[in-house]
Structure 1
Amino acid sequence: MQPRSPEISSSLGRIAIIGAGAVGCYYGGRLAQHGHEVHFLMRSDYEAVVREGLRITSYQGDVHLPVNAHKTAEDIGPCDLVIIAMKVTSNAALLDLIPPLLKEKTVLLTLQNGLGNEEFLAQHFGAERVLGGLCFVCINRIGPGQIHHIAQGRINMGEHTRTPLPRTQLIAEEFRRSLIDCHVVESLAAARWQKLVWNIPFNGLSIAAGGIDTEVILANPALETRVRALMVEIIQTAACLGHTLPPDLVETMISNTRTMAAYKPSSLIDYLDGKEVELEAIWGEPIRQAAQAGIAMPFVQELYDELKNRLAEKA
């Protein structure tokens, strides 16, 4: 299946998607659907996508389209925007993958989970290039080049270590035009901690409690109590670090999670598939950052220790 030419002139220029799993294929697919020139770095799905195209089934409408699939970053070449959606556990590979994609003003947007990703990119490729995005979306990869979009889809986007620039607003505007609910945030660090309020309890308990989905977690009064305690601890820690989060965040996140029904968080899927779980970025790094400021996180520490034991048993 041959990729089609962009139907709309894109102010984003050439876009590369590094990490063509559920997140990369979904957001990259939306951009390609709406006329942007998107190039996907694909490995295991390459043959299937070249042959069959990319499929997104969604409550917003299904999409089936040919896309530009490549086996190497060198085949893609220099781009204007590089969207990084690969697992944090593979970040070392970015040292080889990103250089062929760079030109003078290439922007790097990481959609990865946890803390420390912007710092990694800034250290190796320059802080001025780096943006971060927090994805609040319920999606799963159900087959090669096949993405099931269940609910939500919002991205909170911000600049690394500085307030938004004109480029931040431009990217967000183009995302919104592509059916991606995208909002610019003043503080990316605060947004990162806000995402952890969901990721730490639900991704963690889904594994620690024996491989269960979000519906089962919230149907268990003891586990829901634990979710709430973890959320409150994360919010209080963020406040101590200077990041004030919405006062109704716990209730909002739990209510939104109930609408997901039997959703398997990404860390649970990795765990069940025998893949490496993003243990340090999601659980370890927040504990370490808090400790550097003299703040203890006993509930998160307990969950972190349980996860380490679970992962060690399965190794």
Structure 2
Amino acid sequence: MSGRIVIAGAGSIGCFVGGLLALGGEEVVLLARPRIAEEIGTHGLTLTSFEGWREQLEPTRLKVETDPAAALADAALVLVTVKSGATAEMAALIATHAPPSAAVISLQNGLANAAILRAALSNRAVYAGMVSFNVLHQGEGCFHRGTSGPLVIEAGAPPLVAPHLDIIAHGDMAAVLAGKLVYNLNNALNALSGLTLRQQLADRRWRLILAAAQDEALAVFQAEGIQPWSLGKVPVTRFPRILRLPNVLFRLVSRRGVRIDASARSSMWDDLERRRPTEIDELQGAVIAKAAALGLAAPVNHRIAEAIRAAEAAAAGSPRLDPAALLRRRS
């Protein structure tokens, strides 16, 4: 990639991906909130992974901006990594400050972000993307990758290359984003549990709830004629059956799936702990809305969404629910 790459919304994913692109020799500008900009200016970036590697970028190797006009000027490519609720706002900033020739790639959770960007940036090339792995901000400029998986970008987008990143192009991003949404339905359950991902998925009671939520999502995608893309060897459509297995069998089968760091947690858990709005409307909320439009029911996703919204309102971090509380509500 030749030219400036702007990370529009340098949080956990943005700092991790942007840092690796800079490590690979790209000209990268991180558009960040003042708190993150100050942290990176003091500590630089430390990027680590469950695989064991560690990369350090000193503050002098990074360009961080808090002013959108300064960051987006002369951009050749904009990677949008803001939370989904801020997509329209970021689109307006790109329209105002980025050159008309700048391409835009959404690297966000949810199904609708690329469409929102295209509607606001109709004269620009806009592409969908999907980050399949988890990144946790550990403070002092350290961002840790806790799960395996590639970075998937819509075919035809400007090519990206970075160390430690498996970047692939795909021609059917609707299928890719649908598959990611099925995975991401666990974000809320992990946030409600207060456990690490490994601990939570080891508890069959949590897995039973996730399986039911995924069943509802898969029914929606089937009705829409979408076959969700599978990130690993196990087809997404088999997930609910695997999640319902007894613990011993689940441990055996899950070894073929995504690798998870012992300390990994979901980004929604991080949002609750930091008292930030979550992306529940783009995850469980998307299933609920699509189900309603198709005349289908999504009671499990409704219940999960209600529990997350209650936790947001309480502003006390993860409620550390016992899964039986959600199971009882379903009955």
Instruction: State the TM bucket, normalised to the shorter chain.
Output: 0.7 to 0.9
User: What's the counterpart of residue 15 of structure 1?
Assistant: 5
In structure 2, relative to structure 1, the CA distance for the partners of 1:276 and 1:179 (3 Å cut) is same
User: What's the counterpart of residue 321 of structure 2?
Assistant: none
Query: Residues of 1 paired with 2:168 and 2:262: CA distance?
Result: 25
CA deviations on 1:223-282 (whole Å, 9 max, x unpaired) are: 112222222332232122111135722259954456333421000110111111112111
Moved more, 18-27 or 179-188: 179-188
Please list, as runs of the form range in 1=range in 2, the aligned pairs for 1:141-220 lying within 5 A after superposition.
141-158=137-154, 164-165=155-156, 168=157, 170-171=158-159, 174-175=160-161, 177-200=162-185, 202-209=186-193, 211-220=194-203
- 1:141 counterpart SS class: strand
Number of residue-to-residue matches in the alignment: 292
**Superposed CA RMSD:** 2.4
CA deviations on 1:58-107 (whole Å, 9 max, x unpaired) are: 33632122211112122221311101111123334314532354222211
CA contact (8 A) 2:84 2:108 kept: yes
In structure 2, relative to structure 1, the CA distance for the partners of 1:229 and 1:124 (3 Å cut) is same
User: What's the counterpart of residue 37 of structure 1?
Assistant: 27
Moved more, 181-190 or 268-277: 181-190
Query: Residues of 1 paired with 2:147 and 2:300: CA distance?
Result: 29
User: Gapped runs of 5+ residues in structure 2?
Assistant: 244-252, 317-331
Moved more, 115-124 or 48-57: 48-57
- 1:45 counterpart SS class: helix
1:230 to 213, 223, 237: 213
In structure 2, relative to structure 1, the CA distance for the partners of 1:208 and 1:49 (3 Å cut) is closer
**What is the letter of the counterpart of residue 156 of structure 1?**
V
User: Gapped runs of 5+ residues in structure 1?
Assistant: 1-10, 159-163
1:50 pairs with 2:41: yes
CA contact (8 A) 1:121 1:127 kept: no
CA contact (8 A) 2:95 2:120 kept: no
CA contact (8 A) 1:115 1:192 kept: yes
Moved more, 81-90 or 53-62: 53-62
CA contact (8 A) 1:115 1:286 kept: no
**What is the letter of the counterpart of residue 190 of structure 1?**
A
Superposition misfits of 4+ residues, deviation over 4 angstroms:
251-255
**What is the letter of the counterpart of residue 171 of structure 2?**
E
1:248 to 230, 235, 241: 235
1:68 to 63, 66, 72: 63
In structure 2, relative to structure 1, the CA distance for the partners of 1:133 and 1:254 (3 Å cut) is farther
